[in-house]
Every structure is written in structure tokens, then in C-alpha cells.
Amino acid sequence: MADEKGRTTTGEGIGSVTRAAGRAAAAAASPAAAIDAFVSQAKAVASRPEPSGRLVFALDATMSRQPTWDLACSLQGRMFDAAATVGGLSVQLVYFRGYGECRASGWVQDARSLTALMSRIDCRGGNTQIERVLRHVRNEAREGRVAAFVFVGDAMEENVDALCAVAGELGLLGVKGFFFQEGADPLADSAFRELARLTRGAHIRFDAAAPGELLALLRAVAAYAAGGRKALDALVGQDAAAGRKLLSQMERGR
């Protein structure tokens, strides 16, 4: 897959070199000061919070999704709020659209960067490319632990046995798949249910006219990806209906 990280160039590198030269000169004059500076820098690095989980957020961006694309963009940013309360989350955006286009962003912790990326994407006509998404998630999981992935779509136009083969690999890798189905397409329904079972995740149909429920479910997935089963159990303990619904689906998939 192509990597669309959206990096921008700033003047930070030049400033860093200048500051480093100044520090080097000071260090030569005072070894004690150099040691103090090193200790301070080490403490600063150690205090930076690291993400406790990684979640792939995959979207069908074909033309049939256009009416709800703006909704997906807004919900994605708000999904991070719940994850932050249980230790943070690193998220990667994957989408497909048009004729053979399937792209992935880099891993990010800043929700605003993904929201900005999604705002630049428009839906285009084409067939689904779910197998490419699953293979991408599998490859990412082989390089570093991926707790879960979310797929939001309304159709399935591929060989379901091929999809199931990759989903089975993901299940063995411990990557749970959460399939959110918009609409009531019967082929998508049966395929998503089986893919969720193979990954020990969940398949949930949602109504785009009721975004509150979808947001609650996405937050529950984010909590699971960031804090594991313990975080999801905590949601259930707080009488969160979304947490109970997600947990029930996962239990049935065992």
C-alpha cells in the first residue's frame, strides 16, 4: 500500500543544529554543565507518554458511502477522547475507493492530523477492497502488535473465502476485527459476521441517522485497543450499553 503520511517541512532542523552547536561549546567549557544537560534531556524523553495500543481505522470510501462520510470524519476525532482516559492510542487510517486505490496513513497519536487527512478525501466509485485492508492489517501486526482494527462499510463485493483466509490469520495473531455495517445488504451482513467470528471481534449494524450509538461503540473499541479487556470491562462496570453490546458480541465469537 502507498503510505500517505502528509509530512510537512519546517525550519526546525536548522534551529536544532544551531542550538546543538551552542550546547556543544558550553559542554566543552563545563563538563558538569554537560552532564546536567544530558540528565535533563533524558528525563524529558522518559516523561513522554507512549501509546498503550494500536488501532487500524479502515473505511470504505466508495461512492455509496458519500452521504455518511462527513459523519465518519467527525466521529473519528471524538473516538480518541475515550482512549486518552485509559492510556492513549496510536491510530492508522486506511481507506479504499475508485479503481484499485487503497491507501494507509502513518501511525499517529494526534487525532487532528487524521481528521485533517480524512477531510481531504472524497468518495469515488469502485468495488470494495476489503481483502487488501485485511492483508495490510496482517502485515502491520507482523511488524508490531496491533490490538484491533475497525472497518466501516456497507458492501462486500469480493471472494468471501479469500477474505476469511486472511481473517483467520489475523485471529491467530490476536488482532480483533470490529465490523460496523451501514445498511442491510445481506451479502455484507453474512460476510462481516463471519470475519468478526474468525477474528474474535464483533459485527454491528448501525443507523447513520443515529450517530450517538455509533460514536459510543467506536469509543468502546478505542478503549479496548488502548487498555485491553480490562478497559472494556470497566466500561461495562460503568453501565455503558455500548461496552456491554461489544463484549456480548466478542463472547459469542469465542
3-state secondary structure of 169: helix
Q: Which of the residues in the chain have pLDDT under 70?
A: 1-52, 77, 79-87, 111-112, 237-240, 253-254
Domains of the chain as residue ranges with CATH: 10-46 (no CATH), 54-252 (3.40.50.410)
User: pLDDT tens-digit profile of 112-160?
Assistant: 677 777 778 889 999 999 999 999 999 999 999 899 999 999 999 999 9
Q: Structure pTM? A: 0.76
> What was the pLDDT predicted at 139?
97
Q: Which three cell numbers stand for residue 3?
A: 503510505
DSSP 234: H
Q: Which three cell numbers stand for residue 78?
A: 471524538
Torsion, Cα 85 232 74 131, to 10 degrees, reads 130
> What was the pLDDT predicted at 211?
77
Contact 106, 3 (CB under 8 A): yes
> What was the pLDDT predicted at 202?
93
Q: Who's near 33: CB < 8 A, 6+ residues apart?
A: 26, 27
**Phi, psi angle pair for 127, to nearest 5°:** -85, 165
Sign of CA dihedral 186, 70, 59, 239: negative
Contact 43, 35 (CB under 8 A): no
